[in-house]
Amino acid sequence: MNTQKSLKFPRVSAPLTLAFAATVLGLLAAGAWRSSTAAESASADTAAAAPTDAALIQRGEYLARAGDCIACHSAPGKPAFAGGLPIDSGHGLIYSTNITPDPAHGIGRYTEAQFADALRHGKRADGQHLYPAMPYPSYAKVSDEDVHALYVFFMKGVKPAAVTPPATDLGFPFSQRWAMGLWNWFFTSDQPFRAQAGWNQQVTRGAYLVEGLGHCGSCHTPRGFAMNEKADRSDQARFLSGGELGGWEVPSLRGLPHWTDKDIVDYLQTGRNRSAAVAGEMAQVVEHSTAHLNEDDLRAMAAYLKTLSPVAERSAAVKPQGATETQRKLTAAVDLTLGERLYLDNCAACHFVTGQGAPRVFPRLDGATVVNADSPSGLLHVILAGASTPSTDKAPSVLVMPGFAQRLDDREVAALASFVRQGWSNQAASVSERQVSRLREHLEAQPAH
Ligand code: HEC
Ligand code: HEC
Ligand code: HEC
| Residue 273 CA: distances (Å) to CA of 45, 286, 352 | 45, 13, 17
Ligand index nearest the alpha carbon of residue 271: 3
Which of 63, 285, 287, 399 for a ligand 2 pocket mutation test, highest count of atoms within 8 Å of Cβ?
285
> For residue 411, how far is the Cα from the chain centroid?
31
Helices (H), 310-445: 322-332, 338-346, 348-351, 369-372, 377-385, 410-422, 433-445
* 395 within 8 A of 417, measured Cβ to Cβ: no
Residues of the chain with pLDDT under 70: 1-52, 183, 186, 225-226, 313-318, 320, 447-449
Q: How many angstroms separate the alpha carbon of residue 97 from the centre of ligand 1?
A: 6
Query: Closest ligand 1 atom, CA of 177?
Result: 18
Which of 97, 117, 139 for a ligand 1 pocket mutation test, highest count of atoms within 8 Å of Cβ?
97
**pLDDT (0 to 100) of residue 326:** 95
pLDDT digits (tens, 9 = 90+) for 207-230: 999 999 999 999 999 987 667 788
pLDDT digits (tens, 9 = 90+) for 170-189: 777 777 777 777 767 767 77
Which of 4, 46, 61, 72 for a ligand 1 pocket mutation test, highest count of atoms within 8 Å of Cβ?
72
- Classify the C-alpha dihedral 104-162-112-152 as positive or negative: negative
C-alpha R_g of the chain = 23
Backbone angles phi, psi at 244, to 5 degrees: -145, 140
Q: What CATH architecture does domain 323-444 belong to?
A: Orthogonal Bundle (1.10)
| Residue 441 CA: distances (Å) to CA of 101, 113, 428, 444 | 42, 47, 23, 5
Ligand index nearest the alpha carbon of residue 165: 1
Q: How many angstroms separate the alpha carbon of residue 239 from the centre of ligand 1?
A: 23
* 399 within 8 A of 344, measured Cβ to Cβ: no
Q: Any idea where the domains of the chain sit in the sequence?
A: 48-190, 193-312, 323-444
Query: Closest ligand 3 atom, CA of 369?
Result: 26
**pLDDT (0 to 100) of residue 180:** 76
Which residue CA neighbors atom 40 of ligand 3 most closely?
347
Domain 193-312 belongs in CATH node 1.10.760: yes
Terminus-to-terminus CA distance in the chain, angstroms? 12
Which stretch of DSSP H or E encloses residue 144?
helix 144-152
> Distance between CA atoms of 223 and 12, rounded to whole angstroms?
8
**pLDDT (0 to 100) of residue 30:** 39
> Distance between CA atoms of 154 and 42, rounded to whole angstroms?
16
Bridge-based pairing of strands 93-95 and 248-250 is unpaired
User: Which residues are CB-contacts of 363 (< 8 A; sequence separation ≥ 6)?
Assistant: 272, 275, 276, 277, 351, 357
Domains 193-312 and 323-444 share a fold: yes
CA neighbours closer than 13 Å in the CB half-sphere of residue 243: 25
* 57 within 8 A of 153, measured Cβ to Cβ: yes
Instruction: Verify whether ligand 2 is closer than 6 Å to residue 401 (CB atom).
Output: no
The DSSP result for 68-120, as a single string, is THHHHHB-TTS-TT-B--EEE-SSSEEEPP--SS-TTTSSTT--HHHHHHHHH
My answer on whether omega of the bond before 51 falls inside 30° of 0, hence cis, is no
Q: How many angstroms separate the alpha carbon of residue 288 from the centre of ligand 3?
A: 22
| Residues with C-beta less than 6 Å from any ligand 3 atom | 276-279, 346-347, 349-351, 362-363, 365, 368, 370-371, 379, 382-383, 387-389, 399-402, 404, 416, 420
